[in-house]
Amino acid sequence: MIGVFDSGYGGLTVLAALHARLPRQRFLYLGDNAHAPYGPKSGAEILALTQAGVERLFHVGARVAILACNTATAAAIRPLQQAWLPVHYPNRRILGVIAPMIEEIAQTPWHATAGPDEKRRPVETVAVFATQATVESGFYPREIALRAPNIAVIQQACPELAGMIEAGAPEAALRATVVGHVGALLQRLGRAPDKAVLGCTHFPLVEALFRNALPLETQILSQPARVAAAMVAYLFRHPEMKDFAPEVVEPLCFTTGDAAAVSVLASRFYGRHLRFQTVDSGPRESSETLLDA
């Protein structure tokens, strides 16, 4: 099985894209709604919560865990991949949602680095709208600069937006918040960015608001679609990680929050009914406890 982890509802945008591309693949989804949003938390908190979430997914059978959260990916993926996974789960894998976006923006493979054009002047501008923690990590500008130094990255923190989406805020309030952040970035930049990245998986849930606020000439890159395409390619390279059912199968969904309340809002975001089960938000449980919750 493939596990998808997020701080709350945002990862549903990735799950939907994955399920559309791989409808017979068995997926598990875990939203840490009890601790959402992750954006205002410290790096140590995000790492601890992400590790606990991934471990829950492993204990219900996931062989691959996708961090469907930019904040969790920026803060946790390297220590988990490099120090934790080899010791505790050497036969499992953890993937993030930022690397496919970096590849899309830089138009180069993740393991490639910049060539002799390092001193070229920027010829393209990419705006990144993200949580406070993702912006402060510098993950996007640092990794893009390594691969495509001719791309200028300008970031805009939207610290309250993920929390507003989690709380089911009215559209008028969401629109005002998005307009404010887009306006702040445009004022600093002084022109329309060539491309925009919604660098929090919650933000595609209000992509229409970003589209209306951004200049028409700015292209919005779809992170869920790019992650799904990368997952298809990953399974082609690693067929042992596939777990296909004979027919279309719906994902199993878990939350550390209130299952009934989460199911209602998640189903609205996902576009069809999802039934969540509650797991304890404390230390990880056995696989039996998770599946029987």
Domains of the chain plus CATH, in order, are 2-96+225-292 (3.40.50.1860), 100-222 (3.40.50.1860)
- Its pTM surpasses 0.85: yes
257's tokens: 């929050």
Which residue ranges are tagged as binding site for substrate? 6-7, 38-39, 70-71, 201-202
Which residue ranges are tagged as binding site? 6-7, 38-39, 70-71, 201-202
What is the average pLDDT across 76-101?
97
Query: How much is the pLDDT for 293?
Result: 29
- The CA dihedral of 13, 18, 21, 24, to the nearest 10 degrees, is -130
Residue carrying structure tokens 């700015």: 218
Please list the active-site residues. Answer: 69, 200
Distance, in Å, from the CA atom of 144 to the CA atom of 103, rounded to the nearest integer, reads: 8
Q: What is the mean pLDDT of the chain?
A: 91
3-state SS class at 51:
helix
pLDDT grade for 117, boundaries at 50, 70 and 90: low
What is the average pLDDT across 178-187?
98
Distances (CA, A) of 194 to 74, 128, 130, 220: 24, 11, 17, 9
pLDDT grade for 271, boundaries at 50, 70 and 90: confident
- The CA dihedral of 248, 250, 252, 256, to the nearest 10 degrees, is 150
Least-confidence region, from 61-65, 108-112, 119-123:
119-123
Distance, in Å, from the CA atom of 156 to the CA atom of 141, rounded to the nearest integer, reads: 12
Query: In terms of Cα–Cα distance, which of 116, 177, 121, 113 is closest to 145?
Result: 113
Query: How much is the pLDDT for 286?
Result: 39
Query: How much is the pLDDT for 141?
Result: 96
